[in-house]
Amino acid sequence: MTNGESKKEQTADVKRVFLESGIEVKSLYTREDALAGNPQLDAELPGQYPFTRGIHPLMYRKRPFTMRQYAGFASPEETNERFHFLIRNGQTGLNVAFDLPTQCGLDSDDPAALGEVGRVGMAVDSLDDFERAFAGIDLSKITVSMTINGSALVLMAMYFALAEKWGYDLSTLRGTAQNDILKEFIGRGTWIFPVDKSVKLVVDTIEYCARNVPRYSPVSVCGYHIRESGANPVQEMAYAFCIAKAYSEETLRRGVPVDEFASRLSYNFDIYGYFFEQIAKFRAGRRLWAKIVREDYGAQKEESCWLRMIAGGGGAGLTKEQPENNIIRTAYFAMVSALSGTQTMALCTYDEAYTIPTEKAAEIALRTMQILTHETGVCDTVDPLGGSYYVETLTNQFETAIREEMAKVDNWGGIVDAIASGKVQEAISQQAYQRECDVQQGRVLKVGLNAFHSDEDRQEISFHPYNQDAADKQLARLAQIRANRNALEVDDALNALRLDAQANKNLMPATIRAVKAYATVGEIIRVLREVYGEYKEPVFFNYA
């Protein structure tokens, strides 16, 4: 028997392994595998283009990743209490959750908001709510990320107006708004206006910040929710990059040079699934985005080519069954995030699969990140998996796969048209359906859900109660704001906003004027609805 025949016998019965991305995993990788896809492997260093190994030379050795847990519920006062609790316990940034009425541009007293005021996040109607939510917080020391999309223009205007009122210099103000409306059409659904007008509003914020708030990140392109909607890891990265390119190209058409805004674009990515697959997708994504910004748009500054990201635990990876297992899952997600070179980390809490996080659950998630930072040595050296034959090969394969998926979108007419027609949504829906079938039929194992469980494992779980008192107080305060403000000043500001929208001007200056007059979120969005109209979603379902 020859050696070749012996090896064939040894591998004949070995099961083939595929990642969720469709990439097949070999049983062994060598240096030749890694170099085949990237002959420049040995020359890549952290802090140097194309930044595969990280955007800073020393990474966490110089400064650990920002810890930014998602928080916000019921009233601005309760949200303020949670903010201070997290800061006291060592959190280094804030990530604000808003309730669905606020996200959809409705005031708390809108009939459509009934039963939803403060349910899944903080209720915000006017600048007064921001003043209460951020009371006692130094905006020059704590950066604030706002998870808001459809009504992002208004909430960003409130944040800038608040900062000015409290004496902060907008030219040095830092923070982030999610403000990625295209992913809302793909995933979460808190869109308001037609696709083209929605993109116009996002670009208004990019242009305004480039000229007036240069250290603020006006858009966090959100592959996270694309992945949570069912996309595989390749689609997550590819669609996010297509979206970022769409915003960038519209901004360039307005005459804003790429080096004046590209460095302030950021990303929000998801982590769940296979450990090394997640790490490779981020390393490949960082390399590919750097090439896109330099080669396609001619960026000269190094920081314009950086892929800055928040990456943390994906809620879709958690289970309601045996929820304590989610603590273990999120610890692995945190390790992936750190080994991938993230700038900011956020983890889902163990109870987030079924309810609003409790204070205890939020503390455990925060402690998970702190233990990772201070007890494991993960911050001691840069890109510790760099040079791994497996990770480097996967990184190369991911870069190729992401490019191929982006080419598909181009063939659909570009990301804006592909979203408007529903092609992207259909592709993700099919992927999500197949993934769920794999879980239901046991082809994808979930511990405690379809494997290693018993009827005795089921237990009572507690849901976050709806705070009707907080909702009632919010309605009363809104009525008081309307009664006490200068009605003529509000009307003038809203009319100016309407005229600017009709004239296709940048709407950020007029919106800031309106929020300073204590015009409400719903009143401002209503004016824009009258001018822009509303989006009607195409629906697809054609699975066998």
pLDDT, tens digit (0-9, with 9 covering 90-100), for 500-517: 999 999 999 999 999 999
pLDDT exceeds cutoff 90 at 301: yes
Instruction: Report pLDDT for 528.
Output: 98
Read off φ and ψ for residue 149, nearest 5 degrees: -135, -75
pLDDT exceeds cutoff 50 at 323: yes
The chain-wide mean pLDDT, for the chain, equals 93
Instruction: Report pLDDT for 72.
Output: 85
Instruction: Report pLDDT for 83.
Output: 93
Torsion of CA 391, 60, 71, 272, to 10 degrees: 10
Calculate the alpha carbon distances from 505 to 182, 246, 489, 509 in Å: 21, 19, 21, 10
Instruction: Report pLDDT for 71.
Output: 86
Domain-embedded: residue 115: no
pLDDT exceeds cutoff 90 at 36: yes
Average pLDDT over residues 184-192: 91
Average pLDDT over residues 258-276: 97
Domain-embedded: residue 410: yes
User: Structurally, how many domains does the chain consist of?
Assistant: 1
Instruction: Report pLDDT for 461.
Output: 72
pLDDT exceeds cutoff 80 at 538: no
Domain-embedded: residue 225: yes
Instruction: Report pLDDT for 266.
Output: 97
Sheet of 143-147: strands edge to edge? 70-71, 93-97, 143-147, 175-177, 216-217
SS3 at position 19: coil
The model's confidence at residue 542, banded by pLDDT at 50, 70 and 90, is low
Query: pLDDT for 335-383, tens place per residue?
Result: 999 999 999 999 999 999 888 888 899 999 999 999 999 999 999 999 9
Domain-embedded: residue 209: yes
Interaxial angle between packed helices 423-440 and 233-253, expressed in degrees from 0 to 180 and rounded to the nearest 10: 160
Instruction: Report pLDDT for 433.
Output: 93
Q: Which is nearest to 383 in space by CA: 338, 415, 353, 346?
A: 338
Read off φ and ψ for residue 309, nearest 5 degrees: -145, 155
**Domain range holding 226?**
36-55+175-457
- 330: CATH: 3.20.20.240
Q: Using CB atoms within 10 Å of the CB of residue 240, give its burial: 0 to 12 exposed, 13 to 18 middle, 19+ buried.
A: buried
Domain-embedded: residue 11: no
Query: pLDDT for 196-227, tens place per residue?
Result: 999 999 999 999 999 999 999 999 999 999 99
Instruction: Report pLDDT for 437.
Output: 94
Cα(100)–Cα(97) distance, integer angstroms = 9
Buried b (16+ CB within 10 A) or exposed e, 266-295: bbbbbbbbbebbbbbbbbbbbbbbbebbbe
Instruction: Report pLDDT for 487.
Output: 98
Q: Which residues contact 260 (CB under 8 A, 6 or more apart)?
A: 210, 214
pLDDT exceeds cutoff 50 at 146: yes
Cα(251)–Cα(298) distance, integer angstroms = 14
Read off φ and ψ for residue 433, nearest 5 degrees: -60, -45
Give me the percent of the chain exceeding a pLDDT of 90: 87
pLDDT exceeds cutoff 60 at 88: yes
pLDDT exceeds cutoff 70 at 458: no
The model's confidence at residue 409, banded by pLDDT at 50, 70 and 90, is very high
Domain-embedded: residue 116: no
Instruction: Report pLDDT for 1.
Output: 46
Cα(31)–Cα(284) distance, integer angstroms = 18
Average pLDDT over residues 309-321: 90
Token pair for 496: 């100016």
Domain-embedded: residue 233: yes
Instruction: Report pLDDT for 182.
Output: 97
SS3 at position 521: helix
Instruction: Report pLDDT for 436.
Output: 92
Rg of the chain over all Cα atoms, to the nearest angstrom: 24
Domain-embedded: residue 435: yes
Cα torsion 343, 245, 526, 493: sign: positive
Q: Which is nearest to 55 in space by CA: 260, 393, 289?
A: 289
